[in-house]
Structure 1
Amino acid sequence: MSVEFLWDGRAQPTRGPKPALTLEGITDVAIAVADTEGLAAVSMQRVAAELGKTKMSLYRYLPGKAELVALMIERAIGEPPELSAGSWRVALTEWSERLFAAYLRHPWSVDATVGRRPLGPRELGWMECALAALGTSSGLTGAERLDAIAVLAGHARMLAQQSAARLDESGMTAAMSEVMTRHGARFPELTAAMRETAVEGGQNQAFTFGLDRILDGLAALIDRRSARS
């Protein structure tokens, strides 16, 4: 796949009839299919059919499915967010929440953004945005700052994937209820935690809880580096 395709676009055909489609329109149709049926349902043939065109007609606009998926990611994730001014923690919280929301809007993007692949300007822009929020003044090395962003993104990806699979805490609790009724005595700590949660609440807070703990760890590390200097 050509990386330049993501960065510079593809020249419009200069011969033949006037183009009846746009890359944006093609990509939007592909996203709609993926949102409804998953990434596996997206193919050049399927998108062409949705547009009322032939498969071969799409090749006037882009080389193939790999390029189409890359464009889908760029369009679905959107432009890097403009984060609120303030502390690095406030900014990274907002960044993580917005990334999580993007994954929730387009669950297929979790699988589409795994593995070695060309990266477009919007994806890299999200990384740039987060790194700028953390800043060199944090005292962290370049590798540590990159790792911090990777951990935050991984947390958002994992929770979005669970949500897409309908494995939130309430779903897990329902799935375990029958087994725990029969075998709860074997798992006293789990039984106690579930009973306490049923009384006091606090379900479905895994994203916020995990995000706060990650940022607590970063804050502790930054504070140690600051004390040493």
Structure 2
Amino acid sequence: MKRGRKPSIDAADITRAAIAVADAEGLAAVSMARVAQELGNATMALYRHVKSKDELLALMWDSAMEEPPPLPDGEWRDKLGFWAKAVLTAIRRRPWFLQIPISGPPVGPKNLAWLDSALSALEGTPLGPGEKIGVVMGLSTFVQGEARLSFTLSQGFEENPAQFNHQYGQTLREVVDPREMPSLAAVIEAGVFDLDDVLDVGDIGADFDFGLRLFLEGVAGHIRGRE
């Protein structure tokens, strides 16, 4: 009996299969051979459409973010705040996104759509084109940095929960010399780290909101100066 022909595939099929593997098993599990297995094809068949694993990761980096949601009505600050939280939500759905090495500026359609969305939030402001790009790139860096930090800390909590309890504050008191680090010592003595759960989800959300508000206030100050 003759075997039926393998179904034809393209780069989009390969990317979707790679994302499915990463969602289920993590980014480390993604390889050309593993994706071929997911598709039921020979590994060499994939190379006709995707030249290397690096190219596959670039395709995954773009496709993982999905499409940006429509911005709400309101002023630029409301729109950029909504955009930042939408980016954070998208990354949290697929935290392996943060592990993909970035080798250049965004060129994929999904990433460019997110960039266009953020730039549209600044329409009507007196900022020049270069300033708008600077604002969006700075905000994107802030969001991805916050997402990476919370993801890394969550992993650390799973491995060793004890290091995130109230003992952390006591440990800092033992290792921080007030004569060498007076500012940090003052914060420690104020009890900032004396918590039963240093990695409180509510606190992480509040920290993100605080940092986002500071960033947007800085942009607002810059806009007022331009006006």
1:141 to partner: Cα distance: 2.1
Secondary structure of the structure 1 residue equivalent to 2:192: helix
* Contact 2:6–2:41 (Cα < 8 Å) also in 1: no
The aligned residue for residue 172 of structure 2 is: 180
Does structure 1 residue 162 correspond to structure 2 residue 149? yes
Give the distance between the partners of 2:48 and 2:223, measured in 1 at CA: 52
Secondary structure of the structure 2 residue equivalent to 1:165: helix
Does structure 1 residue 97 correspond to structure 2 residue 85? yes
Does structure 1 residue 210 correspond to structure 2 residue 186? no
Mapping for residues 126-205 of structure 1, pairs under 5 Å? 126-135=114-123, 137-166=124-153, 173-174=164-165, 176-180=168-172, 182=174, 186=178, 187-194=185-192, 203-204=203-204, 205=206
1:66 to partner: Cα distance: 2.7
1:115 to partner: Cα distance: 2.8
Higher share in helix:
1
Provide TM-score, normalisation by structure 2: 0.77
Inter-CA distance 23–147: structure 2 relative to 1 (3 Å threshold):
same
* Contact 1:29–1:50 (Cα < 8 Å) also in 2: yes
The more displaced of 67-76 and 84-93 is 67-76
Bigger RCO of structures 1 and 2 (CA < 8 A, at least 6 apart):
1
Inter-CA distance 157–214: structure 2 relative to 1 (3 Å threshold):
same
RMSD: 3.0
1:42 to partner: Cα distance: 1.5
The aligned residue for residue 38 of structure 2 is: 50
* Contact 1:155–1:207 (Cα < 8 Å) also in 2: no
| Alignment gaps of 5+ in structure 2 | 179-184
Inter-CA distance 180–64: structure 2 relative to 1 (3 Å threshold):
closer
Inter-CA distance 119–113: structure 2 relative to 1 (3 Å threshold):
farther
Query: Among the aligned pairs, what percent are the same residue?
Result: 35
1:196 to partner: Cα distance: 7.9
Give the distance between the partners of 2:188 and 2:32, measured in 1 at CA: 48
1:90 alignment partner AA: D
Give the distance between the partners of 2:203 and 2:169, measured in 1 at CA: 15
Provide TM-score, normalisation by structure 1: 0.76
Does structure 1 residue 35 correspond to structure 2 residue 23? yes
1:194 to partner: Cα distance: 1.4
The aligned residue for residue 224 of structure 1 is: 225
Inter-CA distance 67–99: structure 2 relative to 1 (3 Å threshold):
same
* Contact 2:17–2:38 (Cα < 8 Å) also in 1: yes
1:208 alignment partner AA: D
* Contact 1:96–1:156 (Cα < 8 Å) also in 2: yes
Give the distance between the partners of 1:219 and 1:117, measured in 2 at CA: 26
1:37 to partner: Cα distance: 4.1
| Alignment gaps of 5+ in structure 1 | 1-16
Secondary structure of the structure 1 residue equivalent to 2:153: coil
Aligned length: 207
Give the distance between the partners of 2:85 and 2:101, measured in 1 at CA: 18
